[in-house]
Structure 1
Amino acid sequence: MQQQPLLWLVTLLPHAIQALPFALSPTTWSVREIPTSQRAAREAARVAVQYLNYYSGSPHQLVYLDVVRKATVKSIPEIGDKFYIEFTTKDYQTNQEARVCTASVFFRQKQAKPAIHINCTTSGSLTKARENDYNFYRQMKKQVTPISGKDIPDSFGFIEPDMLPVWYLAIMGSSFVVWEKTTEERSYTMAQIKTVQQLPRKDDSIAFDYDILLHELPTEEMIYCSLHIVWIPGKPPKVDYECSHNAENGSGTESEEGSTFFGNFK
């Protein structure tokens, strides 16, 4: 008598397995190769580069995407798409080839901030970059009058040489914002610093308030963001930010719902 319930469960088990959502079918989770020129492949690589720039902790070691060498994607129904990308980067300052990277970039449905894992070859310019970081840091700590600026670069694309490290720091800090905001449908790059103001600090860090413009694709909108960046050499910056859509002439409307300030201050 006690064996009948067990037999009944064994009989129903195959039907229960078949009813699981998306689940135990090997074809559902198959990985397929996609063209390296495809927008999805390049955008996955670009957000991986943003992640790399942020976690480098070095404004003088920034890189940008060069060539996507290989791209595959695994689609997980009702969860999202996971891209596996191999790509090269170039140094932001010299335009020389810098690193070869492989990354997984997981875009989850209806959710920003893709999950990223990345591995890159060692950069030969690391020592020089760190030296430049400390020179900039020491200079900022010695400032008697906090530095400020606006419209960087200007309408001709020019940046004053002494403001270049301030620009690089903004790119590194905005990389955190871009990583958090990026989805499979929308991506961002920093276009311009509208204003920047150094903030005096009594601890070991340096700090800046930025108002920046992010270029959003594919909408082509300019997104206005306020950033508060605190940094010490060798560590990723701490960033607070608030972004608004429909920015015109440095003013934004339609703030992100429930925003106040986002960031990684904890």
Structure 2
Amino acid sequence: MGFRSIFVLAVLMGVRGSPTPGAASADVAAHSKMTPETAEETGQNLVLGVEDNVMATGELKPNHYPAQRAAKVVQHYLNTRYGSPYRLFGLQRVHSGNAEDVADSGRKYQLEISVQEIISNMTQKCSAEVFFPRGEKSLLAQVKASPCEELLNNDTKAQEEALYQQYKNNQSLLSAQYLPDSYGHIEPDMKPFWHLAIVASSSIMLNESTQDTLYNMAQVANITQLATENEQLKFQCHVLLHELVSQEILHWKLLFTWSPAGGVNVLEMEQLPHCHDCEKPPTTN
């Protein structure tokens, strides 16, 4: 699929916009029309400070890049473990952070953060530890986080079961494009699938995260429900991720399943070739 439009960078946090013809007309003014749910779900309430390239050790400034990058990894971790169509986690605030080198093996961050469960609008302060191993890229970031039990108390079982039964028994399989559209809009019945795509994409962002990256979900280019003979709903999804440090838009293809009992299970993930027809988002200050 070719993409011919200009993706508009929402101020410092995330790209919006549909890759449909005519989407180039969506500019910063269109960003102001974004729904609060979409702004929060894509992490646009995150505040970044100016930081140089020297990796800080000891106490960190909460709004500067080192602390924010590590804290964002915690968000991806929580979504991969506990996320669902009706439960989605976002980083609301970093209260404090500390970084230390661990011999020659890597770098450890101790964080106090506020995590928001976006859909219920509940917030809880949690502790987390993020360890970035040194060496091969295949070594993934390791995360330990307090369970944030209050955020898990919101009972979503009835909603999840209703959604599951609806699409398990549908005669026609779901197919949707451009979540959100050029103006940040998502139809209400498509929001659970936007949430599902974010949860599934968190697996990519968790795997790809290093001390030098900061990932955010930008858009679902398309999502298609596939036929399955087991009890899981199966989806193929093309998502756009925004790497804020490099300002790149990265295209990934995902194959994942979901059920209320089994949660989200990513079966395949593949980064697609760079989209040469897509323009790079403008740099913002």
Q: Into which bin does the TM-score normalised by the smaller protein fall? A: 0.7 to 0.9
Equivalent residue for 2:271, pick from 211, 233, 243:
243
Deviation at residue 89 of structure 1 after TM alignment = 1.4
For structure 2, list consecutive stretches of 5 or more residues without a partner in the other structure. Answer: 1-56, 279-285
* CA 1:234–1:123: 2 relative to 1, 3 Å: farther
Equivalent residue for 1:164, pick from 170, 191, 197:
191
Paired residue total: 219
Deviation at residue 100 of structure 1 after TM alignment = 2.1
Task: Verify: 1:114 aligned to 2:151, yes or no.
Answer: no
Q: Is the 8 A contact 2:76 2:206 kept in 1?
A: yes
**3-state SS of 1:48 partner:** helix
Q: Is the 8 A contact 2:122 2:151 kept in 1?
A: no
Deviation at residue 248 of structure 1 after TM alignment = 4.5
Task: Verify: 1:41 aligned to 2:57, yes or no.
Answer: no
Quote the Cα distance in structure 2 between the aligned partners of 1:88 and 1:82: 19
TM-score normalized with structure 2 length: 0.72
Counterpart in the other structure of 1:82: 108
Quote the Cα distance in structure 1 between the aligned partners of 2:253 and 2:205: 13
**3-state SS of 1:237 partner:** strand
Quote the Cα distance in structure 1 between the aligned partners of 2:189 and 2:85: 14
Q: Is the 8 A contact 2:84 2:264 kept in 1?
A: no
Equivalent residue for 2:126, pick from 95, 101, 122:
101
**3-state SS of 2:159 partner:** helix
Counterpart in the other structure of 2:93: 67
Quote the Cα distance in structure 2 between the aligned partners of 1:249 and 1:192: 17
Q: Deviations over 1:152-186 (max 9, x none)?
A: 11001100111111111101100111100111101
Q: Is the 8 A contact 1:101 1:118 kept in 2?
A: yes
Counterpart in the other structure of 2:241: 214
Quote the Cα distance in structure 2 between the aligned partners of 1:220 and 1:174: 18
Superposed, 1:1-266 pairs within 5 Å as 32-94=58-120, 96-110=121-135, 111=137, 113-123=140-150, 126-239=153-266, 240-244=268-272, 246-248=274-276
Quote the Cα distance in structure 1 between the aligned partners of 2:240 and 2:134: 26
TM-score normalized with structure 1 length: 0.77
Give 1 or 2: higher strand fraction: 1
Deviation at residue 123 of structure 1 after TM alignment = 2.8
Deviation at residue 57 of structure 1 after TM alignment = 4.5
The one-letter amino acid paired with 2:235 is F
Q: Is the 8 A contact 2:117 2:151 kept in 1?
A: no
**3-state SS of 2:182 partner:** coil
The one-letter amino acid paired with 2:272 is S
Q: Is the 8 A contact 1:57 1:235 kept in 2?
A: no
Counterpart in the other structure of 1:16: none
Root mean square deviation, CA, Å: 1.9
* CA 1:174–1:217: 2 relative to 1, 3 Å: same
Counterpart in the other structure of 2:16: none
Quote the Cα distance in structure 2 between the aligned partners of 1:98 and 1:135: 26
Q: Is the 8 A contact 2:93 2:115 kept in 1?
A: yes
For structure 1, list consecutive stretches of 5 or more residues without a partner in the other structure. Answer: 1-30, 251-266
Quote the Cα distance in structure 1 between the aligned partners of 2:240 and 2:151: 32
Quote the Cα distance in structure 1 between the aligned partners of 2:277 and 2:150: 39
Relative contact order, higher structure (CA 8 A, sep 6+): 2
**3-state SS of 1:100 partner:** strand
Q: Is the 8 A contact 1:100 1:120 kept in 2?
A: no
